[in-house]
Amino acid sequence: MEPMPYIVRQRFLSHKCALNEVEDYHIKGVDNLNDPKPLSWQEAIVNPLILDMSYSNQIHLNLDYTKGFMTYSSPNLQEKSVHDNLTDKFIQAITDYVICDKWSSYHEINQTVFVGVMGKQKILLGDMPEILLRRILGNTISINEVRDIFKSVLKSIKDSEGELDIQSATYLFYSHVFLAPKDIYMAAMLKNILKACYSVLAFVGSPHFVPIQKYWIPPPEGINYTTATTIPKRIMNETDEDLIEKQAIFDVMLNTRAWADKYVINPFPYIEEDVTKIEKADMEYFKKTFFVNLKKYEAFRDKILENCKQKKLASEGAKEIPKIDRLTDFKSISNK
């Protein structure tokens, strides 16, 4: 499950506690709400107290724990009438503050999040943050390689006569590019968790199951969390326009809008980390460049999909309507 919407909210609430001068919270404790990697695995664990604070818009010192989500599954601490009244609110809080429209394509994973959080289980959102994946990809693959991958994906869709959508084709034919960083990240995250507990029940999408086993090499060998979350340096000689074009292509191929999510403060961190250092005129230019590229590559995709759709309709029509050469054939078909 994508962790960033929840993590950003948690960081915001920590900053709010600092502003209210709560002990052990510091104003400079959070440098960047949109830091693409969790500071530690604990930051990705869903805490009902954070949901209580978000739902009530209050710091934790002003909450009555016996009437909130924190004690929802503690019958000795919370009255049954309060518990029953909180059920729908708890479900809505998880939907709004944890899922945030980032539903997993696997129903079992979505169900696990709700049942686990409401049942006092330690639920960790273990997927790689989308904006971290994008930054790693953007600084790993050159613009020419990304264009070639995009052309290849469109060709595979055309060859399949539209049976594959662009996201499925991207993951199917280029899993070593787009899924490998996720596999490495999840394996590293699991290794970190097991330092603090005896066992973990992990739910992952089927494409990740075998690769995680492959990367599961005990320390000191193998991958670790630092290497899994390291963002490479920017490719030399690539312009800002090249970086923006790559991100626009990724949006189209992965069928997501990573930089348009509500929690994203700086949509161009791959150009400048500090959004306050981007001049207003430059920001408008970057947005226009991104929009133009996005529409251009969406048009390429839509053209291929439309051609496949027309060919499919034509072939189905040809099968349904028999060819009529003579009047006798017409009478025979009419009688049938």
Query: How does pLDDT run across 239-282, given as a tens digit for each residue?
Result: 999 999 999 999 999 999 999 998 899 999 999 999 989 999 99
Question: What is residue 313's predicted lDDT score, i.e. its pLDDT?
Answer: 84
Say if residue 207 is in the same domain as residue 97.
Answer: no
> What is the count of structural domains for the chain?
2
**Per-residue pLDDT tens over the stretch 2-18:** 999 999 999 999 999 99
Q: Inform me whether the pLDDT recorded for 97 exceeds 80.
A: yes
Percent of the chain with pLDDT over 90: 69
Contacts of 225 (CB under 8 A, 6+ apart): 41, 188, 189, 191, 192
Structural domain range at position 66: 4-33+46-118
In a domain, 336, yes or no: no
- Confidence label for 138 from pLDDT (cuts 50, 70 and 90): very high
In a domain, 322, yes or no: no
In a domain, 17, yes or no: yes
- Confidence label for 184 from pLDDT (cuts 50, 70 and 90): very high
In a domain, 319, yes or no: no
Nearest to 153 by CA among 294, 292, 245, 254: 254
> pTM above 0.85?
yes
Per-residue pLDDT, averaged over 12-31, amounts to: 90
Which of 89, 118, 147 is the C-terminal boundary of a domain? 118
Residue whose entry in the numeric block shows the structure tokens 């025979």: 332
In a domain, 232, yes or no: yes
In a domain, 326, yes or no: no
Say if residue 82 is in the same domain as residue 158.
Answer: no
Say if residue 166 is in the same domain as residue 274.
Answer: yes
The residue type found at 207 is P
Residue 193 structure tokens: 């968790």
Distance CA 41, CA 190 (A): 9
Say if residue 213 is in the same domain as residue 91.
Answer: no
Say if residue 103 is in the same domain as residue 191.
Answer: no
Residue 108 structure tokens: 């079992």
124 CB-side CA count, 13 A: 21
